[in-house]
Amino acid sequence: MKPIRLMAGFFTVGIWTLLSRLLGFVRDIMIAAYLGTGPVAEAFLVAFSLPNLFRRFFAEGAFNMAFVPMFSKKLEGDEDALKFAQDAFVGMTVILSAFTIIGIIFMPLLVTAMASGFRGDERFDLAVTYGRIAFPYILFISLAALLSGVLNATGRFVAAAAAPVLLNIIFVGAMVITTLIGVDPTADLRLRVGDALAYAVPLAGIAQMALVWMAASRAGYALKLKRPKLTPELKRLAIIAAPAALAGGVVQINLLVGRQVASFFDGAVAWLNYADRLYQLPLGVVGIAIGVVLLPDLSRRLRAGDTDGGRNAFNRAAEISLALTIPAAVALIVIPVPLVSVLYERGAFGPSDTQATALAVAIYGLGLPAFVLQKALQPLFFSREDTRRPFLYALVAMVLNAALAIGLSPVIGFTAAAVGTTLTGWAMVAQLWWGARDMGEAAQFDARFKKRLVRIVLASILMGVLLLALVWLLGSTLVLPTWRYAALACLVLGGIAGYFAIGQIVGAFHISDFKRAVRR
């Protein structure tokens, strides 16, 4: 994949991910308004987190990291890539069907593992009920992730990137329909909305899987359910995927630790979730796009012996990701209160919720560049089918995260979970960078990256000063009910315009680079 095609693929995934995240904001704004940070909200958020946790463990965090490089190599050679994908599809279906049944049966134990602070109050029973309804999502979304890997490896990014949009559309639709035509108008609205959201989860999984399956079929990969076979290729896939699965498991343990800490503080599970959604916007648009596009590209280049091309692809991916996320991180740090207030503060979500969520947003903002850099560094290992070292690094990060989150919680409360996540993110980047030193020039930062990084940081700091000045100028309009949306739009657009103008002036990037990629 040529550099311009690499950037075009990045922007394709990024734009669709941006649309998904924006709809996700609409979804979360509605959830915050209907459910606030009360028991129903926390029960649903934990229940929805469970299949997502295992999805990242089985599919995105492990299976695809092993599957995509192997599948890409088969595409480049004369091997039967379709047969390999078919066998993997059937194998994943069998394993995850069994796991789904087990998870539903033992849901009380899973909820306890996720949020033991819920035990003894109404949140626990609600979370178990919602968890059993939502858990089949893991089967459908994991199969969708495999199909997305097939599409991405063949250079088809649109359907896989667009699929998450369906999740948010279905969630929003479920809430709107419930409030308009509720079966029992006398019932608690929060419970009605919570029930509707729980049933919307597996429905969204089916819709996402159907979309990418149809796209894969059109591309010549109509994967079907057949009798499972344990082929030599699947055995090798399992061997490669196992350390990545363990690494994914370690990352999910970090999330579990954060949820456990938060579950002992009323409202904290919801505060952290809403804060997570804010920093996930730039992380999703940039980090996920980089990971999705860079891994198959690096795999192909390594197979062809193109060291210079691999180094250029890695550096440009890291460069563009930091050019977009460092300013986003600065914004989350300097203006978290206006962001949270305008986006979430309405209905059941009050001013105290705004302050708590904004504090978590600022802490996550400090770690945002680290979370994105991980997405650029990990493909260096996975493209070489090296999943063992990322697992060891993740293990170290897990111990650090647990020590910080649990140890600091008596001192700084629920924010200990966010502090642990942020510091662990930087520790993971340091380990990945150190471990990549023996990979030769393909894993080294080039002179252009180093020069532009300094200028990106400078432009971002100056943008932060501009944002503070705009907050002062806008003043009370940021809290007036009829004006605050326009005021926030002015604040955000002013920051974006200011950053790109400053960045162009100081040489942090060239606007023409973005224009060419978007046109492609």
Q: What integer pLDDT is reported at residue 304 of this predicted model?
A: 67
Q: Hey, how many other C-beta atoms are within 10 angstroms of the C-beta on 331?
A: 25
Q: Please name the residue ranges forming H helices in 181-231.
A: 189-218
H or E element that contains 281: helix 268-282
Band (520; pLDDT cuts 50, 70, 90): very low
Query: Which pair of structure tokens corresponds to residue 473?
Result: 């100028």
Burial label for 519, CB within 10 Å (0-12, 13-18, 19+), is exposed
Segments making up each domain of the chain, as ranges:
3-519
Q: What is the pLDDT of residue 4?
A: 44
- Where helices occur in 335-443 by DSSP H, the ranges are 336-344, 351-382, 388-412, 415-435
For residue range 454-504, list pLDDT tens digits in order.
Answer: 999 999 999 999 999 999 998 888 888 778 889 988 998 999 999 999 998
Comparing 401 with 512, the larger pLDDT belongs to 401
Judged by phi (left if over 0) then psi (alpha if -120 to 50, else beta), residue 80 lies in beta
Residue 165 has pLDDT above 70, yes or no: yes
Rounded distance, CA 3 to CA 164, Å?
Answer: 26
Task: Judge contact between 69 and 295, C-beta under 8 A.
Answer: yes
Answer for the pair 166, 227: CB distance below 8 angstroms, yes or no.
Answer: no
Whether 361 has a pLDDT exceeding 90, the answer reads yes
pLDDT at 187 over 90: no
What is the structure's pLDDT at 334?
94
More confident call, 11 vs 437? 437
What pLDDT, on a 0 to 100 scale, did the predictor assign at position 313? Answer: 74
Range from 102-116, 143-157, 213-227, 276-290 carrying the lowest mean pLDDT: 276-290
φ/ψ of residue 121, rounded to 5: -135, 180
On the question of pLDDT at 133 being above 90, the answer is yes
Q: What is the pTM of this model?
A: 0.69
As a whole number of angstroms, the distance between CA 495 and CA 513 comes to 20
Does the pLDDT value for residue 19 go beyond 60?
Answer: yes
Q: Which residues fall within 8 angstroms of residue 81, CB to CB, at 6 or more apart?
A: 71, 74, 75
**Tokens 């490089």 appear where?**
69
What pLDDT was estimated at residue 2? 46
- Residues 6 or more apart whose CB falls under 8 angstroms from that of 243 comprise 387, 388, 390, 391
The pLDDT confidence band at residue 345, using thresholds 50, 70 and 90, is confident
Give Cα separations from 22 to 278, 281, 337 (angstroms).
10, 8, 19
Spatial separation of the C-alpha atoms in residues 232 and 234, rounded to whole Å: 5
Query: Could you tell me which residues come within 8 angstroms of residue 165 by beta carbon, excluding any fewer than 6 positions away?
Result: 16, 19, 20, 23
Could you tell me the pLDDT band of residue 326, with boundaries at 50, 70 and 90? Answer: very high
